[in-house]
Amino acid sequence: MSPSPLSVVVADDSSLLRSGVVRALELSGAEVVGEAGDAADLLHLVEAIGPDLAVVDIRMPPTHTDEGLRAAAVIRDRHPKVGLLVLSQYLEPEYASDFLAGDARAKGYLLKHRVTDLGILAEAAHRVGHGGTALDPEVVNTLFDRAAPSSPFADLTPREREVLALMSEGLSNAAVVDRLVLSTRTVEGHVAEVYRKLGLPPERTVHRRVQAVLAWIRATT
């Protein structure tokens, strides 16, 4: 745990859900420094406080479509150091890919119903708050589902797919090792094989790796 706790702003128009998220984050050791009910409040808070992370619901008043994403774009523009974790009702990867396009550093995209999985929520919040990347596994799977049968994706073994999915979620090699309970060497072997089969240049940082994988999936589906 870092010396000073992660400072977080939470924006969600449902106050009940918002307070639940706040408590979940506090349980994970983060410090919630502000709560907002809509995009305008969120922008003011970020402006005033400059937190490490903003957790943003995608659908907020007034139109309940993608206000959260638009507010996130503004925050990224004005305060590039603030991490952004978007909670989305949309399974469609198009919403995620627009958001993750460009520099994916300190960006996360989780499906809304993931909030009940406190572990995933906390892990994603801390990863993104510290400059990492998080992508919902379900969205990743949807991207894989769309891969054309003729694409090199079909050549991957089931284990390699699993590794690719975790890479896309934003996990480091070490985290993949933890998750799959495999040796570091084995995981590195799988990662190298995935890169070779998909024709991707090896990337060192996790967020650039996510971006490369996303770009590849977009290009081939």
Partner 1 sequence: MAVPTGSPSVGVPKTGAMLAAALAGVLSLAVIVFAADAWVQEVRPGLGWLAAAVGSGTVVAGCVGRRRRPDSVVGPLLVVSGLLFLVGRFWWSSMPWAYTTGVTLQQAHLAVLAHAGLALPTGHLDRLVDRAVIGFVYVDTLAGAGLWLLFERCPYPSGCPANVVALWGAPDLRAQLGTIADYGAVVGALAVLGALALRVVRGHSALRRALLPAVLGLLGRGLLYVVPLNLGLIDYGEWYDVATAALVPIGLTVGLLRGRAGLGRVGRFALEVDEAHGEADSLRVGLAHTLGDPTLDIVYASSAGWADEHGNPTIEPTSSRGRALLPVTDADGDLRAIVEASDHVLDEPALVAGATAIARLVLDNRRLASEVEAQLEDVRASRVRMVRAKDDERRRIERNLHDGAQQHLLSVALTLRLAQEADDGYAHLEASAGEAVDEIERAVRELQELGRGLHPTVLTDKGLTAAVRALTTRSGVPVTVRMADYGPGALPDTVATTAYYVIAEALANTTKHARATHAHVLVNPAEPGRLRVEALDDGVGGAQVAAGTGLQGLRDRVEAADGLLLVDSPPGSGTIVTAILRTRP
Q: How far is the CB of 129 from partner 1 (least distance, A)?
A: 20
Closest CB 27 distance from partner 1, rounded Å:
6
- Taking CA atoms, 83 is separated from 2, 111, 125, in Å, by 16, 17, 9
C-beta of 65: minimal distance to partner 1 in Å? 6
In angstroms, the Cα distances linking 216 to 87, 202, 203, 210, 211 are 24, 13, 13, 10, 8
Instruction: Between 24 and 72, name the residue whose CB sits nearer to partner 1.
Output: 24
Q: Could you tell me the smallest distance in angstroms from the CB atom of residue 17 to partner 1?
A: 4
Nearest residue (CB) to partner 1, 25 versus 106:
25
Which residue lies nearer to partner 1 by CB, 24 or 191? 24
Nearer to partner 1, 24 or 212 (CB): 24
Q: At what angle do helices 118-129 and 15-27 cross, to 10 degrees?
A: 70
State how far the Cα of 103 lies from the Cα of 81, in Å rounded to an integer.
12
Q: Amino acid identity, residue 114?
A: R
Give the nearer residue to partner 1 in terms of CB position, either 112 or 159.
112
Dihedral sign of CA atoms 168, 102, 65, 50 in order: positive
Q: Are 132 and 153 in contact (CB under 8 A)?
A: no
- The answer to whether residues 166 and 179 touch, using CB atoms and an 8 Å cutoff, is yes
Contact set with partner 1 (CB under 8 A): 13-14, 16-17, 20-21, 23-24, 27, 59, 64-66, 89-92, 94-95, 112-113, 115-116, 118, 142, 145-146, 148-149, 221
| Residue closer to partner 1, measured from CB, 142 or 220 | 142
Min dist. Cβ of residue 6 to partner 1 (A): 18
Spatial distance between the Cα atoms of 167 and 96, rounded to a whole number of angstroms: 16
Quote the CA–CA distance of 111 and 143 in Å, as a whole number: 14
Type of residue numbered 19: S
CB of 79 to partner 1, least distance (A): 25
